[in-house]
Amino acid sequence: MNKINNKMNRVFALLICFFTYQSISAQVIELEQDVNADTVISNFGKNRKHFFSSYIGVGLLPGQIDNDSIQLKSGESTRFSYGLYYKYRVSNFYSIVSSLNYGLTQFEFETSDPVKYNRLNVNDVNLEIANRFNFGKRGNRIGNYLELGISGDYVFHTKLSTKSDVEDPTANHTKSQLILTGIKYIEKPNYSVHARVGFNKLVITADYRLSDLTNNEIDFDLPPLAIGVRLDFGA
């Protein structure tokens, strides 16, 4: 009877060892599996095939008007823009970029007393397409790049405003303002070229308008060059 009990104990111990070994082996195999092997890599990202982002930009128009009768205030004509862009990665070095943005260009004209300011605002929507050449290490960043492209814009609203001091002591007011909209001497469609140098979030920009912003109704054109910076929200 004791012999039978000893044999049963040995069999039971062997079974316990067998199932313990199987359990440990299964856990080892489970831990050694590559959980990323069946994961689909996303095509969307800063350095993936597709990427969407937005930006805000500000700039100055350093040029002047080639006309003796009217001048711009030095360094005070500005441009503001806000836009969305899509980047398609062709290779690690080269991408194609398209952008849609809103722009506001403000031209500040020289004035004399009693005029406080004479200001022309030009609002437009702009469509850009560009070649982007990437350089340097990027990782999970937009990185550094040079971008060269062309753009077309459509002016949808213009406003010329003039504010003056009223020096007549008999008047019931001290300031007067004249606002004109729908300025007819501004050309609605325009086209430009641009160059941008990006350092991840910060982008240095230069835009040069190839078409005349004014038509033949007046005898001057407005400066074509705008230099500024952009902040890329997706970087």
12-57 pLDDT per residue, tens = 555 555 445 455 444 444 444 454 555 666 787 777 889 999 999 9
Tokens of 46: 């800063």
Residues 86 and 26 in one domain: no
Helix and strand counts by DSSP (H, E) for the chain: 1, 9
Residue 13 and residue 71 in one domain = no
Does residue 189 share a domain with residue 123? yes
Predicted TM-score of the model (pTM): 0.78
Residues 72 and 15 in one domain: no
Q: Which domain holds residue 12?
A: 1-38
Pair (99, 7) in one structural domain: no
* DSSP per residue, 170-214: TSS-SEEEEEEES-TTB-SEEEEEEEEEEETTEEEEEEEE-S-SB
CATH code, 95: 2.40.160
Q: Is residue 44 part of a domain?
A: no
11 with 109, same domain? no
Residue 90's Cβ-count burial label (10 Å; 0-12, 13-18, 19+) is: exposed
List the structure tokens of 221: 């054109």
151 and 122 in a common domain: yes
Q: How far apart are CA 223 and CA 109, in angstroms?
A: 12
Do 95 and 11 share a domain, yes or no?
no
Q: How many structural domains compose the chain?
A: 2
Least confident of 36-45, 90-99, 131-140, 163-172: 36-45
d(CA 182, CA 28): 76
Same domain assignment for residues 13 and 63:
no
Residue 150: its pLDDT value, please? 98
The reply to whether 151 falls in a domain is: yes
Asked whether residue 117 falls in the same domain as residue 187, the answer is: yes
Say if residue 151 is in the same domain as residue 175: yes
Place of tokens 């009990």: 5
Q: How far is CA 224 from the centre of its chain?
A: 21
Summarised one tens digit per residue, pLDDT across range 69-100 is 899 999 999 999 999 999 999 998 999 999 99
